[in-house]
Structure 1
Amino acid sequence: MALPMQRCWTRLRALTLPWPAAGYHARPRTWGLDTIYKPDPNDPATKEWHKGPAYEAKLYGRHGSASGVRPESLWPSPEQLKAIEKEEKEWYPSLQEMLERLEAKDKEMLQKKRERERLIAANMAKMPKMVEEWRRAKKEARQKERDEKARKERLLALAREKFGVHVDSRSTKFQEMVKELEKEEKKKAKAVKRKQREEERAAMASVLSAVPAAAHPAPDHKT
């Protein structure tokens, strides 16, 4: 039973591995752990991440004073400290500043809400008048449409009386006749308005003439 299983295992390893490999476990590394690797920053072969204060801070954090790094050299300069403080104020505000910003934002949102409510209330107060104006405009538009329809029917009836039963409203003769009739209607309307003004003037003159002279005393001329 063991022999077929061993053959199967050998064939499976031959299929999965491109070369034969021995199954073993490497021993843990025991050399070089008690030494501190500190590359020379002046060496061209030294990597960039092995240079600078960041790597020295890592060495000091891992090995302490045995790393040979002076801890005071890791402290930022006054210019760097000011830049760090500025960045912290901008991106990491204090709790009091965050509360003040939240309070100001809440006040702004409340003010906008009140303004929106006032606007809605004002529009609702204007709503009856706006609805009435809309209804009046719609009524006037319908009346104008009816008047225009009646005018066209009247002009068409006049055209049929003048040119016969079969008349096209798009013909040149019909359009000319419409223009002539419109001119006549405008003249008649002007004549009616003129007559109304003359009648109003005559009525006013008759009223003034009927007022007794006592109502209009003569001026007193002193000698």
Structure 2
Amino acid sequence: MAASMRIVNLFRGQNQKLAHTGRVITIPFQRTYVLTDTEDPEFDEQEYELKLAKIRDCSGLNRAQKLKHYGKMPDVIFTEGFRGKRRNKLRRLYAAHGEASGINPGVMYPSREELSDLWDIENNWTQSFQEMKTNMENKKAAELEADRIRYEKIENAMANMDKMVKQYLDKQKKTEEDERRKDQTDTLLEEFKEQYGFNVRPDSVQFKTFKRMKSEEQKLLKSKQKKEEKKASSLKNLQKVLEKEASSKS
């Protein structure tokens, strides 16, 4: 049985009689309702579904946005003489939908302006084969020359390796000697302060005299140590001779 459809706005607390059942209901909330009557032979089911879908739609999208969302062909009015962004849009549509889009396939071909730009790029900005070959040869020659210079530097460095090693060792020895002298000077400055009770500069006359005196004391001490070592060595040798003679007599 066909049914009619009515879209009405009902308010909370309002009573509404259902035609197909005769029952009266109380509306709980204020909202829009779709009421149907199964006794109406003029009911259009397709119109009913469209209106019902419109009520249910809460996306907020317009028709163009919905068509784009579902991947369908938008409403396009094809006009001749299109340019710029309009032309690019039609190309994208034809690429996506093909002949079903109803767009003239000629839109996919480049325009006179585009062909002119391509021609200008190819002739003025794109290198010819001979130019690219020449550039590659020059680049390769430059790389070979750089390698030759680097190898030459390596060979020269290897030839001077012994000299460079000697220079490094001499420099290291000099650095160690300077550090040793500095430590010795610092030690003598501390001894001078402890002995005389005031500080002096390393280049002062007092410190130079003190340093010379200490140097002489060190020389005397070393000389004394050598004499004692020599005396001890002589006594040791004499002891060996006496022991050897004693053993030979027995």
TM range (shorter): 0.3 to 0.5
Q: TM-score if structure 1 supplies the norm length?
A: 0.39
Tell which has more relative contact order, 1 or 2 (C-alpha 8 A, sep 6+): 2
- Report the structure, 1 or 2, having the larger strand content: 2
TM-score, length of structure 2 as denominator length: 0.35
Higher Cα Rg, which structure: 2
